[in-house]
Amino acid sequence: MEEQEKPTKVVDARGSFCPGPLMELIKAYKSAKTNDVISLYSTDTGTKKDAAAWINKSGNQLIGVFDREGYYEIVMKKTK
Amino acid sequence: MVTNILILGDGAAGTIMANKLRFLTHREDAEITVIGNSKYHYFKPDGIHIPLGIKNYRDSVKNPKFLFNYGINYVRDSVTRIDVDNRNVSTQSGKNYTYDYLVIATGDRLVPEEIENFDREAHHFYTLEGSLELKEKLSGFNGGKIVIGPSSIPYQCPPAPYEFAFQLDRYLRRRGIRDKTELHYIFPLNRVFTMENVSNYVQKLFDEKDIIYHTLFNLESIDAQKKTVSSLEGEDQKYDFLILVPPHKGQQVITESGLAGDQGYIAVDRHHLNYGDYDNVFVVGDATDLPISKAGATAHFQSEYLSGRIASEISGFVAEELYDGSVACTTVTGDEKAFTLYFSYTRPPRALFQSKADYLLKWTSADTYFSGMLRGVM
Ligand SMILES: Cc1cc2nc3c(=O)[nH]c(=O)nc-3n(C[C@H](O)[C@H](O)[C@H](O)COP(=O)(O)OP(=O)(O)OC[C@H]3O[C@@H](n4cnc5c(N)ncnc54)[C@H](O)[C@@H]3O)c2cc1C
C-alpha cells in the first residue's frame, strides 16, 4: 500500500461471523474523521461483499480488498 | 462437600440453567442459588401477537418465584457488582454471595435513549409494556406509511422484526386498511436478514405481500418534526407510524464490573462458554458476545450443554462435550404460517418451507416454554 493509505484505524474482526465484521466497521466509521483510512480484517467470506456494498452505498471510498494469510483485509477511506 | 452454584439472572437462561442443574444434581452435593430482579417472567416471543390483539397477554406472564423447581434458592435482588477474582457477588440490598461456580445470565437491556426522539416517536413490541402501548396506538391507525425495522444490531431474536411486519400485513388486511397503508421495512445489511438463504426467502415473501424494503439502512436519527428517519448511508424515509426495535446493550453491572466494554456483552469461549481464564465462571443467553442469535432457543441449547458439564464435574467426571452453537427457531410469515430454522456455528439453515404446523408450534410456544422448556424437562 502507498504511504497515504496507511490505516488510521484497524478493526480486527477475525473469528467473528456476519453481521459482526460489518457492524464493527460501521462502529469504527462512526468515530472516525473525514479522510481516515479504516482497515477491516475478517475471516468471514460473506463480509467481502457486504462491506463493499456498504462502503459504496454510504458514499465512501473502497480502497481495496486484499487476500492475506488466513484472512482478508478490506480497506476504506471515510470521504464524508 | 457441597458445591455452591450461583446463577445471576431470572430470565430464560437463568431459570432453565437452575432447573436443569437441580434435576442433574443431588441436593446434598450442590446448592443452587438464583439472584434475579424481574418483576414478572414475560414470554417475549408473544410480542409479535399481543399488539395485534390476537393473544391475551395474561397467558404470557408468570410470577418467577413459581418457575423454579423444588430445592432452588431464589433471591429477588439486583446484582450491583461481580468480582470474579475474589469470587464475590454484591447486591443492592447489601448482601454478598460467594460461589464455586458462577453462571451469568443477566441478558441484555433496551437503550432507546441512545437515539434522540425514539421514545417520543417510535413504538415497539420488545417489552410487555411496549406491546400493550403499541396495541392501543395501532387501533387508532387508519392508513398511511408505516416504517418498521431494527435500529441497530445486535438485537434479540433476529427474525422478530420481519415476523412482526408479516403479522402486521395480515392485521391491516383484516381491518380493511391494507390498501390505504404502505409498509416499509428497513434493515442495516445489504439484504433483509443476516443469513443469505433466509433473506432470499423472506424477500420473496415481502414482494408477494407488497412490503417494500430498504437495505443498508443503519438508522442514525429520527426527526420528530419532519416525521422522518435518516440512515447513516444518507437515505431518508418519511413515516406516519414508526415501529422500531430499540437499540440493545448488555447490563450495566457487567460493564461496571469490568467483564465487558461499553457494549456490555461478555466475551466467552465459544465451545465452553467460560469467561476468560476462569474455569468456574460461565455466561449463557443474551449476555454473551457470541456471533449467534440472541434467542431463548440459544439459551436453551447452551443450558443443556452447560448444566450437563457442571453436573458431571460435580460428580467427579469430566465430560468432553463441546457447545456447537446450535439454535432452532420458528419464525412466522403471516397468514397463520411459519417456518423453522435449525443451525449452528458451522451448519447454515437448510431448505425453507412454510407450514401451518410450524405456526401452531409457535402459537403454543408459551405453554411449551412455561411448562416444559423453562422447567428443565426438555
Ligand atoms: C419480541 C421478541 C420476540 C422474541 N422471539 C423469540 C423466539 O421466537 N424464539 C426465541 O428463541 N427467542 C425469542 N426472543 C428472544 C428471547 O426472549 C431472549 O433471547 C431470551 O429471553 C434471553 O434469555 P436471557 O435469560 O439471556 O435474558 P432475559 O430473558 O432477558 O433474562 C435476563 C434476566 O436477568 C435479570 N437481570 C438483569 N440484570 C440483573 C441484575 N443486575 N441483577 C439481577 N437480575 C438481573 C433480568 O431481570 C432478567 O430476568 C424474542 C425476544 C423478543 C423481545
Judgement on whether residues B224 and B305 belong to the same structural domain of the protein? no
- How do residues B42-78 score in pLDDT, each as one tens digit? 999 999 999 999 999 999 999 999 999 999 999 999 9
**Which residue, of B230, B247, B264, is where some domain finishes?**
B247
Least Cα separation, residue B250 to chain A (angstroms): 16
Q: How many CA atoms lie within 13 A of A8 on its CB side?
A: 15
pLDDT exceeds cutoff 60 at B244: yes
CATH number of the CATH domain containing B243: 3.50.50.60
- Which residue blocks in B92-190 are alpha helix, DSSP H? 118-121, 128-139, 160-174
**Weakest-pLDDT range from B196-210, B238-252, B253-267, B344-358:** B344-358
Residue pairs between chains A and B whose CB atoms are closer than 8 Å: 40
Name the pLDDT band for B254 (thresholds 50, 70, 90). very high
A26 in a domain, yes or no?
Answer: yes
First to last CA, chain B: 29
A2 in a domain, yes or no?
Answer: no
Give the Å distance between the CA of A2 and the centre of ligand 1. 48
Residue nearest to atom 44 of ligand 1 (CA): B36
**Which residue, of B247, B267, B300, is where some domain finishes?**
B247
pLDDT exceeds cutoff 80 at A4: no
**Structural contact between residues B238 and B252, judged by C-beta atoms closer than 8 angstroms:** no
Q: Is the pTM of this model over 0.90?
A: yes
| Pocket of ligand 1 from Cβ distances under 6 Å | B 8-14, 35-38, 44-45, 47, 78-79, 105-107, 125-126, 156-157, 160, 251, 253, 285-287, 294-297, 299, 329
C-alpha B143/C-alpha B172 separation (Å) is 9
Give the Å distance between the CA of B12 and the centre of ligand 1. 6
Question: Which residues in chain B are contacts of A16 at CB distance < 8 A?
Answer: 291
* Residue B318 confidence (pLDDT): 76
Bridge partners, residue A42, by sequence: A72
The residues, ordered by sequence, that sit 6+ positions from B172 with a Cβ below 8 Å of its Cβ are B178, B181, B183
Residue A54 three-state SS: helix
Judgement on whether residues B169 and B242 belong to the same structural domain of the protein? yes
Within an 8 Å CB–CB cutoff, is residue A46 touching chain B? yes
pLDDT exceeds cutoff 70 at B290: yes
Residue A79 three-state SS: coil
Q: Kindly tell me the sign of the dihedral angle through the C-alpha atoms of B62, B63, B64, B67.
A: negative
pLDDT exceeds cutoff 60 at A22: yes
Within an 8 Å CB–CB cutoff, is residue B200 touching chain A? no
Q: How many structural domains is chain A composed of?
A: 1
ipTM of the complex: 0.86
Name the pLDDT band for B237 (thresholds 50, 70, 90). very high
Judgement on whether residues B167 and B212 belong to the same structural domain of the protein? yes
Within an 8 Å CB–CB cutoff, is residue B140 touching chain A? no
* Residue A16 confidence (pLDDT): 80
Question: B55 — phi, psi (to 5°)?
Answer: -145, 140
pLDDT exceeds cutoff 80 at A2: no
pLDDT exceeds cutoff 50 at A1: no
Give the Å distance between the CA of B50 and the centre of ligand 1. 17
- How do residues A25-49 score in pLDDT, each as one tens digit? 998 998 899 999 999 999 988 899 9
Judgement on whether residues B243 and B255 belong to the same structural domain of the protein? no
Name the pLDDT band for B348 (thresholds 50, 70, 90). confident
C-alpha A11/C-alpha B106 separation (Å) is 28
CATH number of the CATH domain containing A56: 3.30.110.40
A71 in a domain, yes or no?
Answer: yes
Q: What share of chain A is helix, strand, coil (3-state, %, to 5)?
A: 30, 30, 35
- The shortest CB-CB distance from B216 to any of A17, A30, A57 is to A57
Least Cα separation, residue B312 to chain A (angstroms): 30
B26 in a domain, yes or no?
Answer: yes
B344 in a domain, yes or no?
Answer: no
Which amino acid does the sequence have at B315? S
Question: A21 — phi, psi (to 5°)?
Answer: -60, -45
**Mean pLDDT score, B316-322:** 82
The whole-chain average pLDDT of chain B stands at: 96
Within an 8 Å CB–CB cutoff, is residue B216 touching chain A? yes
H or E stretch covering A75: strand A71-77
Residue to test with chain B: of A22, A27, A31, A80, most B Cβ within 10 A: A22
What the block records as the C-alpha cell of A55 is 462502503
Q: How many structural domains is chain B composed of?
A: 2
Judgement on whether residues B10 and B44 belong to the same structural domain of the protein? yes
B374 in a domain, yes or no?
Answer: no
Q: Kindly state the percentage of chain B with pLDDT values over 70.
A: 100
pLDDT exceeds cutoff 90 at B110: yes
Judgement on whether residues B128 and B223 belong to the same structural domain of the protein? yes
Instruction: Tell me which residue range forms the domain holding A52.
Output: 9-77
Question: Which residues in chain A are contacts of B291 at CB distance < 8 A?
Answer: 16-18, 20
Report CA-CA distances (Å) from B374 to B45, B49, B309, B365.
Answer: 14, 21, 19, 11
Q: For residues A63 and B320, which has the higher predicted lDDT (pLDDT)?
A: A63
* Residue A80 confidence (pLDDT): 84
Residue of B nearest to A49 (CA): B190
**Mean pLDDT score, B262-267:** 95
B226-264 core/surface letters (b: 16 or more CB in 10 A; e: else): ebbbbbbbebebebebbbbbbbbbbbebbbebebbeeeb
Residue nearest to atom 6 of ligand 1 (CA): B45
Judgement on whether residues B231 and B144 belong to the same structural domain of the protein? yes
What the block records as the C-alpha cell of B48 is 409479535
Instruction: Tell me which residue range forms the domain holding B159.
Output: 113-247
Give the Å distance between the CA of B279 and the centre of ligand 1. 25
- Secondary structure letter of residue B289 according to DSSP: -
Report the 10 Å Cβ neighbour count for B281.
Answer: 21
Report CA-CA distances (Å) from B246 to A55, B64, B148, B289.
Answer: 25, 25, 11, 18
Residue B44 three-state SS: helix
**Mean pLDDT score, B186-213:** 95
HEC secondary structure over A17-37: CCCHHHHHHHHHHHCCCCCCE
**Mean pLDDT score, B98-124:** 98
Torsion of CA B6, B8, B10, B12, to 10 degrees: -100
- The shortest CB-CB distance from B291 to any of A20, A50, A58 is to A20
Q: Is A33 a catalytic residue?
A: no
Name the pLDDT band for A20 (thresholds 50, 70, 90). confident
Residue to test with chain A: of B152, B189, B192, B215, most A Cβ within 10 A: B189
Question: Which residues in chain A are contacts of B232 at CB distance < 8 A?
Answer: 26, 29-30, 58
Give the Å distance between the CA of B191 and the centre of ligand 1. 26
A28 in a domain, yes or no?
Answer: yes
* Residue B86 confidence (pLDDT): 98
Residue B332 three-state SS: strand
Pick the closest to residue A18 from B161, B4, B195, B17 (CA basis).
Answer: B195
**Mean pLDDT score, B15-26:** 97
Judgement on whether residues B175 and B67 belong to the same structural domain of the protein? no
* Residue A53 confidence (pLDDT): 95
* Residue A3 confidence (pLDDT): 46
Judgement on whether residues B142 and B207 belong to the same structural domain of the protein? yes
**Mean pLDDT score, B81-102:** 98
Residue with cell 395474561: B58
Name the pLDDT band for B288 (thresholds 50, 70, 90). very high
* Residue B349 confidence (pLDDT): 83
Residue A45 three-state SS: coil
Judgement on whether residues B118 and B225 belong to the same structural domain of the protein? yes
* Residue B317 confidence (pLDDT): 81
Judgement on whether residues B147 and B224 belong to the same structural domain of the protein? yes
Judgement on whether residues B157 and B200 belong to the same structural domain of the protein? yes
Name the pLDDT band for A6 (thresholds 50, 70, 90). confident
Q: For residues B337 and B196, which has the higher predicted lDDT (pLDDT)?
A: B337
